[in-house]
Structure 1
Amino acid sequence: MTDTYHTIIRHYEDCLGKFGDSHRGVDWPNEADAATRYQVMLGLIKPSATEQTLLDFGCGASHLYQYMLEHNVTGLRYAGLDASSAFCDLSARKYPQNPYLCVDVLCEPERVGEFDYIVMNGVFTEKRGLSFDDMFDYFKEVLRIVFRKARRGIAFNVMSKQVDWERADLFHLPISSLTDFLAKELSRHYVVRNDYGLYEYTTYVHKEHS
């Protein structure tokens, strides 16, 4: 596929340049809603007696990790990944104890190792100038790669179609289109969450039933 998705990456870098290390710097308009998203993303994780690994794919400024620290989330070994060197450098300065990988997964999928869980918060909510079809193709190709890297499951969010009006720069994905793709190509073991009060939904995709 073409590299038109790079316009999305550049958009987030522009937000960081304008608003700095804040919720607006990763283009979330509301800080409380951003925190809700972090809580929902972590809802993917199933309890375990041993430490599990978590990849924050599209980690931005590592606000998910900040949320984990503030809410005493334990039992997870965090790593971050972002296609933007600006965000990777920022996160590495903030949290040098964490591993960070600056990589475009479509170009170098072999550089990404395996993790128990992979969360993708905000990676697919904006399509900017991409057509719906181009964004859907990008979405599917990234998920095909990422799901192979997860030992237990992945989580991601997209904008809902059940809204009063749609924004042309956002990715409003019909649930039926999503579930058809998941069942055919990834897994039949998925949960669609539309219960947290935002105009989006989050999907958990598990490797096996549990």
Structure 2
Amino acid sequence: MSLSTSDYRQITTCTESYFDRLGDSPLGMGWPNLPDAQTRYDVMLGVRRNPAEPIRLLDFGCGTGHLYSHIQRTAINGIDYHGIDLSSKFISTARERHPEADFRCADVLNDPAALGTYDYAVINGVFTSKCEMSFESMFGFVQDILRLLFSRVRCGMAFNAMSKQVDWERDDLFHLPMDELAWFLCRNLSRHFVIRNDYGLYEYTTYVYQDGISQP
């Protein structure tokens, strides 16, 4: 399926509208509250197989750098952080808040050279809202991003999407069936993945790894 830039830029436009109305906060990034946002940060960072090992981390769709703030606030050591977002507005704010960190504005589907090589990538909130995109267009975008980012990580990546196991679905959110995702991963990326549905929100997070766990 051919995907135009204007399709996936809807996601940025929607989130920027929250930011303009609600400011630089979890609500301004489209999340309902701070505790749930902090839970997501911890779940994303849970993709690391060895938390004691220093890593180079890509925060794709980093917004204004809230994950980096969480890492600093909770004194998590050993993370060489790099943030990328499509929104120049968000990146400008992130740089003002954290001038010491690496934040870049890039459309990686049109400019893959903007990406480096990382140990892990996390994609928090980019795949939860589809705005006015069709399911097919959104899933095409998800697949393109996952293929690209997985080719740039040495160890693995984490991403979330809305669950189908809910009382009702919102038309503007991206409710991705787990079996459909699993088939895509197995056929295109890796059979080594974990789906986490254990943290109490109406979404799930998937960890995808380059290699399986080494057995003793």
TM-score range, shorter chain: over 0.9
CA displacement, residues 175-203 of structure 1 (integer Å, 9 cap, x when unaligned):
01000000000000000000000010000
Alpha-carbon distance between aligned partners in 2 of 1:40 and 1:24, rounded to the nearest angstrom: 19
Helix, strand or coil at the partner of 1:93: helix
Normalised to the residue count of structure 2, the TM-score between the two structures is 0.95
- Residue 175 of structure 1 aligns with an amino acid whose one-letter code is M
Counterpart for residue 50 of structure 2: 47
- Residue 90 of structure 2 aligns with an amino acid whose one-letter code is F
Alpha-carbon distance between aligned partners in 1 of 2:197 and 2:175, rounded to the nearest angstrom: 13
Count of matched residue positions in the alignment of Structure 1 and Structure 2: 210
Alpha-carbon distance between aligned partners in 2 of 1:189 and 1:46, rounded to the nearest angstrom: 13
Q: Rate the CA distance shift 1:78–1:179 in 2: closer, same or farther, 3 A.
A: same
1:75 is displaced (CA, Å) by 1.1
CA displacement, residues 87-128 of structure 1 (integer Å, 9 cap, x when unaligned):
111111111111111101111012100110100000100000
Structure 2 counterparts to residues 37-186 of structure 1, below 5 A: 37-47=40-50, 50-186=53-189
Normalised to the residue count of structure 1, the TM-score between the two structures is 0.97
- Residue 157 of structure 2 aligns with an amino acid whose one-letter code is I
1:150 is displaced (CA, Å) by 0.8
1:51 is displaced (CA, Å) by 2.1
- Residue 12 of structure 2 aligns with an amino acid whose one-letter code is I
> Superposition RMSD on alpha carbons, in Å?
1.0
Gaps of 5+ in 2: none
Gaps of 5+ in 1: none
- Residue 46 of structure 1 aligns with an amino acid whose one-letter code is R
Tell me whether 116-125 or 59-68 shows the greater mean CA deviation: 59-68
- Residue 41 of structure 1 aligns with an amino acid whose one-letter code is M
Q: Which runs of 4+ in 1 moved over 4 A?
A: none
